[in-house]
């Protein structure tokens, strides 16, 4: 059965990008809905403290998985390039190397997560009244990160050939299982954050098994046979060359989010942490289109470069940026407009809702700036240049936010001032990224 029906190097770009992105948007929507169920169940049936405890781990989890998401991006770029060039042997070596790396890294990080969870939470000044609950949730979640890491590598392979439907279907199944288990563990068995964590690990393991089964049954060069797993040095070198900077770029985002979370924790208020947590869950829905179009920018650029269709690369960037920013503006405005009602799904506490609305304004309403940043960085990554956007991310995002929190926040000690560092850092870094993109474009397309 042929699953890849998208010709990324020929035909109308706008249409093909939409066909590629729609399943990804549905996948992102479902992921957000299922994650929202986690938070709603905890907030409604376990209370404010468990809600805050789960929220306090978010930036740590994202940091933990960012590097390996970057390596998955490296896999996506390399496999897509080989497929665009019709190099089946190279694509096969890249697939085997990626899955082997994913399995090895997943096991190592799962074991390490058990030991680092509490020290990191202490380092971030997690409020004492939620520290034990946060530790329980984080240890279990990180122990189950093996499944998440392996899934990311495998889905990168399927996306490289335009197959975004099967990963969506697998997440639908896993998400339904997760939602059912949340209700059983939290509502009926009163397991609070322990129940949510265990449900998440079980469902992520299910999605990993489903996507691995798909790769084991493929009939083309992306087929994986477990008894033939191996590492190809050249493939690994290229995946690392592209993926490590991309992962560092994601880690830069998550590291600064940890710094911001620490600043939020400095108020020593579970109400503020809970409001921030609820708003983040709503805010994540704004990323539905953004993440899909950013993934399209990487994959279409990589395949076009591999096929020698360099004249399409600039068009891909402009089309995906228009779609990315448009979706951010539309969904962000709706999220803020109906934010008060949406936040009541997570909590009945008016002070918690008030904090959530502050975050939805300062971040949700300006997220299009982040969309521009993502498209520019991912387009450069698709052209095989991931180090430069990573360096820009480190210098732009981290430095801007750290300076803001060090010099401005102590003077104007309010939650609004903390949230303002997000749009300001996005704007500064996007302006730098624009210059960098056209530098890379000239080097790869015009003078190569």
Predicted TM-score (pTM) of the model is 0.78
217-231, 281-295, 312-326, 348-362: range with lowest mean pLDDT: 281-295
First to last CA, the chain: 38
Mean pLDDT of 95-116: 90
The answer, yes or no, to whether residue 201 has pLDDT greater than 80, is yes
Give the C-alpha separation, 86 to 122, whole Å: 51
116-120, 133-137, 188-192, 253-257: range with lowest mean pLDDT: 253-257
Give the pLDDT confidence score for residue 1 in this predicted structure.
42
Mean pLDDT of 311-327: 95
Give the pLDDT confidence score for residue 99 in this predicted structure.
95
Whole-number average pLDDT of the chain: 88
Q: Which residues contact 53 (CB under 8 A, 6 or more apart)?
A: 130, 133, 134, 137, 193
Mean pLDDT of 19-31: 83
Banded model confidence at residue 128, pLDDT cuts 50, 70, 90: confident
Give the C-alpha separation, 439 to 448, whole Å: 13
Mean pLDDT of 284-297: 88
Mean pLDDT of 301-308: 91
Give the pLDDT confidence score for residue 88 in this predicted structure.
94
Give the pLDDT confidence score for residue 255 in this predicted structure.
76
Question: Do 77 and 84 meet the contact criterion of CB atoms below 8 Å apart?
Answer: no
Per-residue H/E/C for 334-383: HHHHCHHHHHCCCCCCHHHHHHHHHHHHHCHHHHHHHHHHHHHHHHHHHC
Mean pLDDT of 103-117: 89
Per-residue H/E/C for 215-248: HHCCCCCCCCCHHHCCCCHHHHHHHHHHHHHHHH
The alpha carbon dihedral of 330, 334, 339, 345 has a sign of negative
Q: Taking Cα atoms as reference points, which of 238, 286, 269, 302 lies closest to residue 422?
A: 286
Give the pLDDT confidence score for residue 96 in this predicted structure.
96
Question: Do 184 and 141 meet the contact criterion of CB atoms below 8 Å apart?
Answer: no
Mean pLDDT of 302-310: 90
Give the C-alpha separation, 55 to 352, whole Å: 13
């Amino acid at each position: 059965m042929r699953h890849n029906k998208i010709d990324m190097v020929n035909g109308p770009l706008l249409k093909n990008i939409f066909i590629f992105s729609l399943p990804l948007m549905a996948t992102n929507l479902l992921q957000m809905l299922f994650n929202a169920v986690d938070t709603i169940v905890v907030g409604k049936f376990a209370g404010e403290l468990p809600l805050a405890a789960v929220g306090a781990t978010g930036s740590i989890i994202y940091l933990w998985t960012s590097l390996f998401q970057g390596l998955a991006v490296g896999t996506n770029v390399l496999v897509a390039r080989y497929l665009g060039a019709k190099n089946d042997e190279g694509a096969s070596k890249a697939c085997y190397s990626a899955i082997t790396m994913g399995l090895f890294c997943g096991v190592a990080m799962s074991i390490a997560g058990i030991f680092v969870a509490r020290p990191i939470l202490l380092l971030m000044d997690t409020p004492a009244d939620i520290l034990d609950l946060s530790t329980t949730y984080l240890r279990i979640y990180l122990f189950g990160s093996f499944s998440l890491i392996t899934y990311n590598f495998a889905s990168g392979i399927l996306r490289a050939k335009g197959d975004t439907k099967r990963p969506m279907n697998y997440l639908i199944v896993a998400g339904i299982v997760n939602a059912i288990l949340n209700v059983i563990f939290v509502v009926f068995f009163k397991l609070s954050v322990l129940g949510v964590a265990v449900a998440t690990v079980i469902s992520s393991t299910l999605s990993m098994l489903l996507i691995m089964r798909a790769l084991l049954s493929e009939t083309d060069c992306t087929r994986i046979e477990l008894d033939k797993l191996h590492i190809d040095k050249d493939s690994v070198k290229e995946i690392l060359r592209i993926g490590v900077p991309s992962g560092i770029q994601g880690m830069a985002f998550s590291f600064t989010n940890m710094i911001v979370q620490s600043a939020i924790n400095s108020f020593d208020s579970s109400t503020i942490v809970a409001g921030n947590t609820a708003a983040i869950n709503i805010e994540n829905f704004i990323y539905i289109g953004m993440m899909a179009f950013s993934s399209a920018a990487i994959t279409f650029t990589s395949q076009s470069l591999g096929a020698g269709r360099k004249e399409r690369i600039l068009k891909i960037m402009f089309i995906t940026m228009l779609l990315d920013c448009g979706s951010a503006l539309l969904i962000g405005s709706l999220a803020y407009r109906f934010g008060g009602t949406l936040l009541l799904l997570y909590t009945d506490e008016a002070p918690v809702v008030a904090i959530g609305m502050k975050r939805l304004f300062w971040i949700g309403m300006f997220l299009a700036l982040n969309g521009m940043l993502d498209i520019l960085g991912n387009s450069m990554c698709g052209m095989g240049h991931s180090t430069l956007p990573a360096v820009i991310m480190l210098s732009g995002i981290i430095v801007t936010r750290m300076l803001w929190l060090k010099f401005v926040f102590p003077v104007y000690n309010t939650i609004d001032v903390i949230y303002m560092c997000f749009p300001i850092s996005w704007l500064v870094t996007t302006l730098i990224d624009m210059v960098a993109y056209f530098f890379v474009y000239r080097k790869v397309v015009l003078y190569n």
